């Protein structure tokens, strides 16, 4: 099994709506059930966003699938604009740090779940984007 630090970036803007936000939570709950969540194997974190960053779960916050699923189901919907740039900046500066549980010896994976365009596409562009495939 591969070790990885995975961060899910989840849109809860007005265009998503309560129904689709709940579908995203269901999807994430099912997805993390397939991961080997453990402090020494896969770590998963999450950030929600709309007009700003609303909630986050650090990579070192949960060491079991059940605990992470419970945290996912407790997320609430608030609406707002789609500030994807703020969410990605938060991931870079606050979540991909050792204090938040990021490990330097494993691959980082960031998964963005959104229904559309960022409110600020220019600021959302990722410079020097590198796509890497992880083989286990």
DSSP assignments along 67-130, one per residue: HHHHHHHT---------HHHHHHHIIIIISSGGGT--TTSEEEEEEE-SS--SSHHHHPPTT--
Percent of the chain residues past pLDDT 70, beyond the cut: 85
Query: Taking the complete model, does pTM exceed 0.85, yes or no?
Result: yes
**Confidence at 56, pLDDT banded by 50, 70, 90:** confident
CATH of 4-124, one of 3.40.1280.10, 3.40.50.410, 2.40.50.100, 3.40.190.10: 3.40.50.410
């Amino acid at each position: 099994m591969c070790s990885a630090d995975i961060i899910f970036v989840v849109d809860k803007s007005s265009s998503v709506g309560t129904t689709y936000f709940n579908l995203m939570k269901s999807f994430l709950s099912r997805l993390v059930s397939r991961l080997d969540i453990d402090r020494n194997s896969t770590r998963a974190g999450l950030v929600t966003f709309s007009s700003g960053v609303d909630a986050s779960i650090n990579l070192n916050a949960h060491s079991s699938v059940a605990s992470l699923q419970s945290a996912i189901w407790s997320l609430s919907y608030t609406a707002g604009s789609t500030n994807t740039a703020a969410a990605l900046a938060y991931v870079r500066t606050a979540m991909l740090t050792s204090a938040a549980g990021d490990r330097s010896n494993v691959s980082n994976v960031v998964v963005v779940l959104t229904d559309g365009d960022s409110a600020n596409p220019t600021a959302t562009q990722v410079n020097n984007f590198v796509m890497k495939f992880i083989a286990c």
